[in-house]
Amino acid sequence: MASGIDECADDVTDDERWLVIHGRRWRRTDPALPEDLAARLRSHLGRARSAVRTTTRAGDADATADARRRVGLATSGLGERGPRWWEDDVDARIARALAAVEELDRDAPPRADEGPGVNA
């Protein structure tokens, strides 16, 4: 979850970078992302993961590939994949997240109940 704290990489501990579940380390979401931006990316991530399940069951390889691409965009935007968020400055991280959500909005527009985009 985003805390809105602007920390330099030297102040971030391993506990803040990684989440351990059943002995496996998972990268945490970038804490510098504004909550509304992180929420939009999580929404896209959930819908894309659902689309992966649905299209895989339907045997639609092209749609599954597109859904997996959207999962990758959302996780990269959240800082959970791609460049390690603690190695970049906050402005670059937020710019990467904004680019991801804008592309996701073009590919899979937000639902009506999600309200306007993060830049509205």
pLDDT tens digits for range 6-33: 444 445 566 788 878 888 888 899 999 9
pLDDT tens digits for range 28-57: 999 999 999 999 999 999 999 999 999 999
Structural domain of 83: 9-114
Q: How many degrees, rounded to 5, is the angle at CA 57 between CA 64 and CA 39?
A: 55
0.85 exceeded by pTM: no
Establish if 22 belongs to a structural domain. Answer: yes
The whole-angstrom separation of Cα 79 and Cα 77 is 5
- The total number of structural domains that make up the chain: 1
Amino acid at 12: V
Establish if 120 belongs to a structural domain. Answer: no
Establish if 3 belongs to a structural domain. Answer: no
Q: What pLDDT was estimated at residue 9?
A: 43
